[in-house]
Amino acid sequence: MLQPGAQAPSFSLPQLDEGSRQFQQGKPALLIFFETDCPTCRLTIPYINRLAQLAGAKADVIGISQDAEAPTRELVEQAPIRFPVLLDGDLSVSREYDPQAVPTLFLVDGAGKIARTSVAFDKADLNAIAAEMLGEPFELAGKHDGAPQTRPGCVSRHLEPRADGELASSVNLYAERGARASRIELSDDVDPCEFCYLAGFADPLPVIPPTVERVERMLAATTLPPDRIVARVPPNYGMATVEKIAANAVMAGCEPEMMRALVPLIRAACDERFNIHGVQATTHFAAPLIVVNGPVRRELGFACGSNVFSNVARANSTLGRAFQLILANIGGARPGELDMSTLGNPGKFSYCIAENEEENPWPPLHTEFGFDRGQSAVSLFAAEPPHGVSEHNARDGRTILRAISRALATVFSYRFCFGWEAMVVLCPEHVKTLSRSGFTKDSIREFLFENTGIPIREYETDGGEGTQFTQLYQRATINGEECYRKFARPDQIRIVVAGGTAGKFSAVIGSWATGPRGSQMVSYPID
Tell me the pLDDT band of 462, cut-offs 50, 70 and 90.
low
Per-residue pLDDT tens over the stretch 353-368: 999 999 999 999 999 9
Per-residue pLDDT tens over the stretch 381-426: 999 999 999 999 999 999 999 999 999 999 998 888 888 899 999 9
In 10 A of CB 358, how many CB atoms? Answer: 12
Q: Greater confidence, 257 or 173?
A: 257
CB 123 within 8 A of CB 143: yes
Q: Give CA torsion, residues 257, 263, 266, 271, to 10 deg.
A: -140
**The domain 11-159: what is its CATH number?**
3.40.30.10
Long-range CB contacts (within 8 A, 24+) of 307-311: 307/500, 308/353, 308/354, 308/356, 308/498, 308/499, 308/500, 309/353, 309/386, 309/507
Among 42, 37, 472, residue whose Cα is nearest residue 236 = 37
CA distances from 205 to 197, 251, 346 (A): 8, 10, 13
Per-residue pLDDT tens over the stretch 303-355: 999 999 999 999 999 999 999 999 999 988 888 777 878 999 999 999 999 99
Sign (positive or negative) of CA dihedral 132, 135, 141, 143 = positive
Q: Of 112-116, 141-145, 161-165, where does mean pLDDT reach its minimum?
A: 161-165
Please report which residue ranges of 253-374 form alpha helices under DSSP H: 259-269, 276-281, 296-299, 314-329
Amino acid 170: pLDDT:
43
Identity of the amino acid at 493: I
Mean pLDDT of 70-86: 93
Among 521, 275, 224, residue whose Cα is nearest residue 377 = 521
Provide DSSP, 211-237: -HHHHHHHHTT--S-TTBEEEEETTTT
Instruction: List Cβ neighbours of 238 (8 Å cut-off, separation of 6 or more).
Output: 160, 161, 232, 329, 330, 331, 332
Distance separating alpha carbons of residues 288 and 384, to the nearest angstrom: 9
pLDDT over 50 at 167, yes or no: no
Distance separating alpha carbons of residues 527 and 506, to the nearest angstrom: 31
Tell me the pLDDT band of 467, cut-offs 50, 70 and 90.
low
Amino acid 165: pLDDT:
36
Distance separating alpha carbons of residues 343 and 285, to the nearest angstrom: 6
CA distances from 2 to 9, 121, 338, 392 (A): 10, 18, 17, 58
Amino acid 31: pLDDT:
97
Peptide linkage before 80 cis (omega within 30 of 0): yes
Amino acid 310: pLDDT:
94
DSSP structure class, residue 414: T
Up-side HSE of residue 268: CA atoms within 13 Å toward CB? 25
Distance separating alpha carbons of residues 62 and 55, to the nearest angstrom: 12
Distance separating alpha carbons of residues 517 and 146, to the nearest angstrom: 10
Report the interhelical angle of 39-55 vs 123-134 (nearest 10°). 20
C-alpha Rg value of the chain to the nearest Å: 25
Report the interhelical angle of 242-252 vs 212-219 (nearest 10°). 110
CA distances from 155 to 103, 413, 484, 491 (A): 9, 30, 39, 34
Could you give the residue range(s) of every CATH 3.40.30.10 domain in the chain? 11-159
pLDDT over 80 at 289, yes or no: yes
Whole-prediction pTM value? 0.74
Amino acid 173: pLDDT:
53
CB 43 within 8 A of CB 141: no
Per-residue pLDDT tens over the stretch 300-316: 999 999 999 999 999 99
* Torsion angles phi and psi, residue 234, rounded to 5: -65, 160
- For strand 522-526 and strand 420-426, is the pairing parallel, antiparallel, or unpaired? unpaired
∠ CA(198), CA(204), CA(208), 5° rounding?
Answer: 75
Up-side HSE of residue 334: CA atoms within 13 Å toward CB? 10
Amino acid 177: pLDDT:
80
Tell me the pLDDT band of 376, cut-offs 50, 70 and 90.
very high
* Torsion angles phi and psi, residue 521, rounded to 5: -65, 140
Tell me the pLDDT band of 150, cut-offs 50, 70 and 90.
confident
Q: For residue 164, with 0-12 CB atoms within 10 Å meaning exposed, 13-18 middle and 19 or more buried, which class applies?
A: exposed
Please provide the average confidence, as pLDDT, over all residues in the chain: 91
